[in-house]
Chains A and B, each alone.
Chain A
Amino acid sequence: MSLIRIYGLFLRHFYLITRSFPRVLDLIYWPSIQITLWGFISNFFAIHSTYYNNAVGVILSCAILYDFLFRTSIGFNMLFLEEIWSRNFTNLFISPIKIGEIIVSLVITALIRALIGLVPAILLTSPLFGISMLDLGIHLFFLFLSLYTFGITLGILVSAGLLRFGPSFENIAWSTMFLLAPFGCIYYPVEILPQFFQNIAYSLPLVYIFEEARSILIDGVVNYKNIMNAFYLNAIYLLIAISLFYYSFAQARKRGTLINIGE
């Protein structure tokens, strides 16, 4: 692995962000809108729901966590799509950058993009709704790390699809998060789902992350089993995603997709 090449690809996207104020605004705008909206909904439920009445920040905290996942995943896909849209794809793939270096570089850049959007949104929650994400304590770090890993995993999976099938896979890139959201049990406990859906939900790390967030915020109980389950599943899915990305690259070289995408 060459840190210089990783930095080179990071720099390509960093320049893009810093050169364009509308791009930065776009990164901040949607998370802020999302969090403000969920903040008011959260306040409403806190007053009118018995489930949430002791924990004003539960829905909002989960909304922030979900948005972090969403931004990370979409961020990774956007970085990959950016190369296709700018017709720079061929230049990138004929440079001596390794697949692993591309993944590492995009993983770092996606995190920075997500944080640019999310930090201002999180800062908004305190003055507007009197809620602090820090109520989750040190465990907040583990939840964020878990969501980040899963977001990146989804990003790599979708990018693998883009490599293998070309730009026609773009629509899938936008829809993956919406497909998984119902199974993630972001705003409701997993028991609400029918049994079959519960089985699917338990096979994803999301349910453990959001159950854990609710457990800490509502009951004040930390369940390390949830955190560990999320990490185990994340490790498995990440390994599958990276393997699939390498496989897609090999297939794209075989089928000529790299040439078709690039021009």
Chain B
Amino acid sequence: MKNLVEVKNLKKKYGTKEAVRGISFNIKQNEILGLLGPNGCGKTTTIGMMLGLLKPSNGEIFIDGKKIEENRIETLEKINFISPYIELPKKLTVKQNLIVYCKLYNVSDIKNRIEYLVEKLKLENFLNRITGELSSGQKNRVSLAKALINDPAVLFLDEPTASLDPEIGDYIRGFLENYKKEKKISILLASHNMNEVTRLCKTVLMMKDGIIIDKGFPEELIKKHGRKNLEEVFLKLSRSNNELN
């Protein structure tokens, strides 16, 4: 499978502070890559640069072979993002929100796309309800529908199941697994839920202080660091002095 995402020597400086210090990685088609690290390690900054919200101080990001800085709009048509920290307009109905985003992403067959997502994510019971009045689980599914509205080749997920109860969290994880298999999309998953990462991700990157301090398959990392699970590996690496690689 080809690399859909290529990140080369990516750096971001805010004044004198270096938030990201030269990281490189790839995400293959049909792969879910986990991005782990303690708060403030540079995950959000990295995702921000990949979404075109931030201009890198150095380095390059290619999405499906196109450099994002030179093809921002074209690249944004191929990617999407979901995070519990951003929301859709609360006063609009679910259907209205989906129509608006279909237009913003220039979706050609709006009716069919919405019907497909409504069926896939089981939105029919609240399609005409005000988005702000939905439960967190329902809102999460609507946000996911918005994130899939443009049939993205690359999906960025920032803690997609945070604040959800275990049952809904499990539903979302199952949905993402199946959707990735069906559409062969690439996913970057930033999460603090290590069970989620172990279940979904083929490869994991561990970040700390703006650099990648370790990477590999979850089982490999567990074995390499002599721990019982990924959470223990995370704790060990978070408390280390960045000298593991």
Binding site for B on A (CB under 8 A): 2, 4-5, 7-9, 11-12, 15-16, 19-20, 82, 86-98, 250, 253-256, 258-259, 262-263
Main secondary structure of the interface of A (DSSP, over half): helix
Nearest chain B CB to A32 CB, angstrom units: 24
**Inter-chain contact B106/A4, CB cutoff 8 Å:** yes
Question: Given that A93-B53, A94-B53, A256-B48 are known contacts, is A88 also in contact with B86, CB under 8 Å in the complex?
Answer: yes
Residue among B74, B81, B91 with max Cβ neighbours from chain A (10 Å): B91
- Among A92, A96, A258, point to the contact of B73 (Cβ < 8 A): A96
Q: Is B92 an interface residue (CB 8 A)?
A: yes
- Identify 10 residue pairs between A and B in the complex whose beta-carbon atoms are under 8 Å apart, listed by A's number: A4-B103, A9-B104, A11-B99, A19-B130, A86-B90, A96-B105, A250-B55, A258-B54, A259-B44, A263-B86
Interfacial residues of chain B within 61-102, with CB under 8 A of chain A in the complex: 73-74, 76-77, 79-81, 83, 85-93, 96, 99-102
One digit per residue, 1 when the CB lies within 8 angstroms of any chain A CB and 0 when it does not, for chain B 156-168 equals 0000000000000
What residues on B are CB-neighbors of A20 within 8 Å?
Answer: 91
**Inter-chain contact A96/B86, CB cutoff 8 Å:** no
**Inter-chain contact A5/B106, CB cutoff 8 Å:** yes
**Inter-chain contact B104/A8, CB cutoff 8 Å:** yes
Q: Is B146 an interface residue (CB 8 A)?
A: yes
Q: Is B38 an interface residue (CB 8 A)?
A: no
**Inter-chain contact B77/A96, CB cutoff 8 Å:** yes
**Inter-chain contact A256/B77, CB cutoff 8 Å:** no
**Inter-chain contact A98/B73, CB cutoff 8 Å:** yes
Name the residue of chain B whose CB is nearest to the CB of A9: B104
What residues on A are CB-neighbors of B73 within 8 Å?
Answer: 96, 98
What residues on A are CB-neighbors of B90 within 8 Å?
Answer: 86
Residues of B in contact (CB 8 Å), total: 37
- Among B102, B106, B130, point to the contact of A96 (Cβ < 8 A): B106
**Inter-chain contact A87/B14, CB cutoff 8 Å:** no
Binding site for A on B (CB under 8 A): 14, 44-45, 48, 51-55, 73-74, 76-77, 79-81, 83, 85-93, 96, 99-106, 130, 146
What residues on A are CB-neighbors of B51 within 8 Å?
Answer: 90, 94
> CA A82 – CA B100 in complex, angstroms?
15
Query: 7 closest pairs, A vs B, by CB?
Result: A8-B103, A96-B76, A95-B104, A87-B87, A263-B85, A253-B55, A8-B104
What residues on B are CB-neighbors of A263 within 8 Å?
Answer: 83, 85-86
Given contacts A95-B76, A250-B55, 10 further A-B contacts (CB under 8 A): A8-B101, A8-B103, A9-B100, A9-B103, A19-B93, A95-B101, A96-B73, A96-B105, A97-B104, A253-B55
Question: Given that A96-B73, A259-B44 are known contacts, is A90 also in contact with B104, CB under 8 Å in the complex?
Answer: no
What residues on A are CB-neighbors of B80 within 8 Å?
Answer: 94
What residues on B are CB-neighbors of A256 within 8 Å?
Answer: 14, 45, 48, 54
> CA A259 – CA B54 in complex, angstroms?
8
Residue among B73, B91, B104 with max Cβ neighbours from chain A (10 Å): B104
**Inter-chain contact A19/B104, CB cutoff 8 Å:** no
**Inter-chain contact B52/A94, CB cutoff 8 Å:** yes
**Inter-chain contact A19/B103, CB cutoff 8 Å:** no
What residues on B are CB-neighbors of A87 within 8 Å?
Answer: 85-87
Name the residue of chain A whose CB is nearest to the CB of B90: A86
